[in-house]
Structure 1
Amino acid sequence: MDLDLGAVRAFVAVADARFFGEAADVLGLSQQAVSKRVARLEADLGTALFHRTRTGAELTEDGAAFLVNARALLALADQSVALLRSRHRALRVDVLSSRIATNEVVRDFHASVPDLEIETVRSKEGLRAIAPALVRGEIDASFARVTGELDEAVAHAPAYADRMHVLVGRRHPLASERQVPVAALRGMTAWMPGLASPDTEWAEYYRHFTARFGVHMDASGPNFGLDDDVERVAASADVISLVGERMRVPWNPDVVQLPIVDPVPVFPFSLLWHRQNRHPALPTLISYVRRHFRPLDASTHWLPAQDRPGFTR
């Protein structure tokens, strides 16, 4: 006997709603159509699945027993359809923000395979949201600094180490320099309103940075975005801010962007993906990232000890 999935879906909807009319609304069908589907399923199974009462449809003993397997059957069918459809849609990659290095990495990747359809997502929420989204299949890949334990189904590989730069106004004492030794920043306070959420992986990175180099972080004030940060730096003779080398910083004639050296602090981005994801373009992205990543010289670059495996040689 072949079960009609439409009839099984109608049965589950009635079991959940307890009323045929409400189940019909959920399914976008008429109440008569739902009743016919359930009646056909009962005929195929040779048993009653519901007791029809004035207070709703109550599951029979056989109905309650069948419900467990009916849910599993629909879940498997929906998963199979979703998996097949996912192979024929754009590769969804979370780049966190359109301004940071990860977006540029994906731009470079797309330039190498221009016929590949890519959809970028900008969650801005970091690892705490990315890992669950990968597990749920909402995205195919993402970039993040990996901290702590991940779901065992999520794989990751070093992708890009973004060198840190300092932003200063034209009137700042450092403005005439070509590069800034990190020791010269000791005792200064970097205005970083994007660190207001202390449980993000970038906030944790800067806590390590502060402990190592004595550069204080000021996350006060509302975060109005990078344009506002740049304007505040431009208007001040003492405010500084930190950005990644490949961050797309809004141009301002009164702001100077300087590389930090001796050592060069870097922010480590990894590529993350679900091990069971079968999107046909995903292996191409993984291969591209692995092929273009170059481990850093640990003697000239700095990153937290927990990030060094895989990123340094």
Structure 2
Amino acid sequence: MDLEAVRTYVAVAETGQFRKAATDLSITQQAVSKRIAALERDLGVRLFTRTARGAETTIDGQAFLPHARELLRAAERAAASVRTDRRPLRVDVINSRGASSGLLRDFHRAHPGIELDVLMLVDIDQALDAVRSGTVDASFRAVGAPGRPLPDDLESVRVADEPLDFFTGPAHALADAPSVTLARLVGHRIWIPGITPGTEWGAYYDALVAEYGLTIEATGPNFGSDALLDTLADTPALGTFMGGLTRLIWPASYGLRRIPVTGPTPVYPHSLVWHRDNPHPALAALRSHLTTTTAGHGAAGTWVPGWVLPR
């Protein structure tokens, strides 16, 4: 359906005159007549009856009017969705409970007037392609993994190092420890279902295992954090790593323990990635907020893989 013809129809219906609609639309009265005639042919009905006072909508014209207005509103929403000065800022986070989501929530509280679209893209290649194409304005990622260099047209800034906690049930041998070293975790079963080969977090845990001789199992399907907590509560010999900034809720009867890891503390490096030519006006506000309000990175006594970008 020709949207300009629909727009012309709405203008005539609201003004009641072809001449006035032509003036409002900055076109000739003849063009108005041609557009209305074409729309009537497409619909197979008469939309207006000409009178001495101008033009009155027919019964069919009255029935079509609210739908015509909605068509124009939908067209405006569609155009606004791709105009960087009018559409929401689109930001990719890995999951809704993790540290990057928390950082984005803090930004939203500090800048409630900035509209956000939050996406969750699992695959880093998909996320970086989306940033490069402009489908996404920014993504939270750990960048620099082997075989996955950051493309030249993308920029990043490391905004937060999230410490890993050892998470386990009340019957585990380490359940009552106030803290635990990486060396003490050697030989204990650490279960992290859903580690996907080729992801940046997969590369992170590969490096942790290689350096400290840990036993990390990724077997079984990933049914989400709730199922993981159920299993930890019922399996005495099992533990997992959980980001210290990850928000989780579980029944008090589970008696789960969240134990800080030391000597050193493994931290997951969150960086914000964006295209250097992205014109969205809110992107600069997000970068500024993250670089001025987050705790930073590289603290003494922490560990990250050697491939993590330093800035």
Question: Under a length normalisation based on structure 2, what TM-score does the superposition of the two structures give?
Answer: 0.70
Partner of 1:214: 213
Query: CA shift at 1:187, angstroms?
Result: 1.6
Specify every segment of 5 or more residues in structure 2 that has no aligned partner in the other structure, as ranges: 5-37, 43-78
Q: Is the 8 A contact 1:263 1:301 kept in 2?
A: yes
Compute the RMSD of aligned alpha carbons.
2.2
CA distance in 1, matches of 2:149, 2:221: 31
Query: CA shift at 1:186, angstroms?
Result: 1.1
Amino acid at match of 1:260: V
CA distance in 1, matches of 2:133, 2:309: 29
Q: Is the 8 A contact 1:226 1:250 kept in 2?
A: no
Q: CA offsets, 1:106-131, max 9 Å, x none?
A: 00111111111111111222x21111
Partner of 1:166: 166
Higher relative contact order, structure no. (Cα contacts within 8 Å, ≥ 6 residues apart): 2
Q: Does 1:142 align with 2:139?
A: yes
Larger radius of gyration: 2
Q: CA offsets, 1:24-60, max 9 Å, x none?
A: xxxxx99x99xxxxxxxxxxxxxxxxxxxxxxxxxxx
Q: 1:100 is matched with which residue: 98, 102, 115?
A: 98
Query: CA shift at 1:308, angstroms?
Result: 5.7
Q: CA offsets, 1:206-229, max 9 Å, x none?
A: 011001122111111111111111
Residue aligned with 2:83, SS: helix
Q: Which runs of 4+ in 1 moved over 6 A?
A: 81-84
- Identify if the C-alpha distance between structure 1 residues 177 and 138 changes in structure 2 by more than 3 Å, giving closer, same or farther: same
Amino acid at match of 1:246: L
Partner of 2:278: 277
CA distance in 2, matches of 1:304, 1:115: 38
- Identify if the C-alpha distance between structure 1 residues 290 and 161 changes in structure 2 by more than 3 Å, giving closer, same or farther: same
Query: CA shift at 1:191, angstroms?
Result: 0.8
Q: Is the 8 A contact 1:158 1:293 kept in 2?
A: no
Partner of 1:71: none
Matches within 5 A, 1:153-302: 153-195=153-195, 197-253=196-252, 254=254, 255-297=256-298, 299-302=300-303
Specify every segment of 5 or more residues in structure 1 that has no aligned partner in the other structure, as ranges: 1-5, 7-28, 34-80
Percentage of matched positions with identical amino acids: 33
Residue aligned with 1:199, SS: coil
Matches within 5 A, 1:9-20: none
Partner of 2:126: 129
Amino acid at match of 1:98: S
